[in-house]
Amino acid sequence: MAGRPVDHRRRAELLDAAVDYAAEHGFSDLSWRPIAAALGVSTTTLVHHFGTKEQMLVAILGRLRERIFVLTSDRAAGQPTLAAAARAAWEWSSDPQRWPEFKLFFAVYGSALQAPHLFAGFLDRVVADWMSLLRDAQGPDDDPAAPTLVIATIRGLLLDLLATGDRDRVGNAAEAFFAGLEHK
């Protein structure tokens, strides 16, 4: 009865490569053939592993969100205060090495806002994940305004940084924000 077993590792490998490709070549114009060519496989292989193109987009965006969240939460989780967690998250996120990934993140975010039916899973978790992470660092004060503000500010500053590349101005603004968080 059994036959060849499903190779989950292979799918994960292709998915990560697809995320890298999307970060480099953009998210809005993805199509089977160029991705397949870049990954050194046939389009049939991608179709076999991901189904339809829509399903592949959902898989890419899900993996991207997971990658960013896991890496950021490694740095932000376990911090003693909300301000410390915010500072840790910012310092990791604002590294120019992360820029392609975050440009892709905001491209996906924007697309999701205009196609909520397709990207419902992304929109559901894109704020909630971070809220629960930050509220762990927040301590007994359970006012959701503070973590909401931290998420919004970090993302807004990233949008500025990615658009202008002005690390000095944006970095100073971030520092002012964290300082205000601590003296409250």
Partner DNA sequence: GAATTCGTAGTACGATCGTTCTAGAAAGTC
Partner DNA sequence: GACTTTCTAGAACGATCGTACTACGAATTC
Residues found near its own copies in the complex (CB under 8 A): 26-28, 103-104, 106-115, 123, 126-128, 144-146, 148-149, 151-157, 159-160, 162-164, 169-170, 172-173, 175-177, 180, 184
Instruction: Name the residue nearer to DNA (CB basis): 62 or 171.
Output: 62
DSSP-H helix ranges across the chain: 8-25, 32-39, 43-50, 53-76, 82-93, 99-114, 120-138, 145-164, 167-182
Total Cβ atoms within 10 A of residue 158: 21
Q: x/- binding map, residues 14-33, to DNA, per CB under 7 A?
A: x---------------xxxx
**Cβ of residue 41: shortest distance to DNA, in angstroms?**
4
Tokens at 141, concatenated: 């004060």
Separation of alpha carbons 180 and 96, rounded Å: 25
Stretch that binds DNA, among 1-9, 61-69, 147-155, 174-182 (CB under 7 A): 1-9
Considering only residues 52 through 91, tell me which ones interact with DNA, judged by CB under 7 A. Answer: 52-54
